[in-house]
Amino acid sequence: MKKFLIAFIILAVVGGAAWFVLFRPERISQETLTQDFETHRQAYEDIALYLKDHKITTEITDIPIAGNNYDGVVYEDSDEYRAFMDGVMEIMSEDHDAIISDGRTVEFVYHSTGGKLCKLCGSVIFNGVNTVEGKVTVPLTTDGWHLYIVRG
């Protein structure tokens, strides 16, 4: 009986670990990303418009730290810049891995939470037009905001 109990415990631990690594459910969905966009819309807009208006190419992967600048982003004493930095702080403290800008398109990349067999990659994209080149997206608004989800 003791061997059976030990085998059962080992099987339960291995099975739980396998489920966690392979089959853990993903939090990224069209509904959750749309809700997050609506909740933080002002921050998204402040960041996207600043990067697009200034034609800044950059990849932001962490929250702002005093004295630390992002590549391509130059400090300026303006309300627009402060709104941009506040927006970066708000967005990057949520479930985001990166904010990527090429000067025309800004992509807000979400952190994937699913297991290896359930992994999804999601992002909110702003480019100011109705389509995103090279990606099949769902429009979030009529003014150039898109939702992009792909199996990762």
In a domain, 15, yes or no: no
Q: How many residues does the chain have?
A: 152
In a domain, 3, yes or no: no
In a domain, 17, yes or no: no
pTM score: 0.85
In a domain, 7, yes or no: no
Q: Count CB-CB contacts under 10 A for residue 86.
A: 15
The CA distance from 12 to 45, in Å, is 47
Q: Are strands 106-110 and 120-126 parallel, antiparallel or unpaired?
A: antiparallel
* Count of domains for the chain: 1
Distance of CA 28 to the CA centre of its chain: 10
In a domain, 62, yes or no: yes
Give the pLDDT score at 17.
Answer: 85
In a domain, 64, yes or no: yes
Helices within 25-134 (DSSP H only)? 30-39, 41-53, 79-92
Range of the domain at 79: 25-151
In a domain, 18, yes or no: no
Average pLDDT over the chain reads: 88
Give the pLDDT score at 66.
Answer: 65
Query: How much of the chain is helix, strand and coil, in % rounded to 5?
Result: 40, 20, 40
Residues paired with 9 in a beta bridge: none
In a domain, 61, yes or no: yes
Give the pLDDT score at 67.
Answer: 62
Which tens digits make up the pLDDT trace of 64-115? Answer: 776 667 777 888 889 999 999 999 999 998 889 999 999 899 999 998 887 7
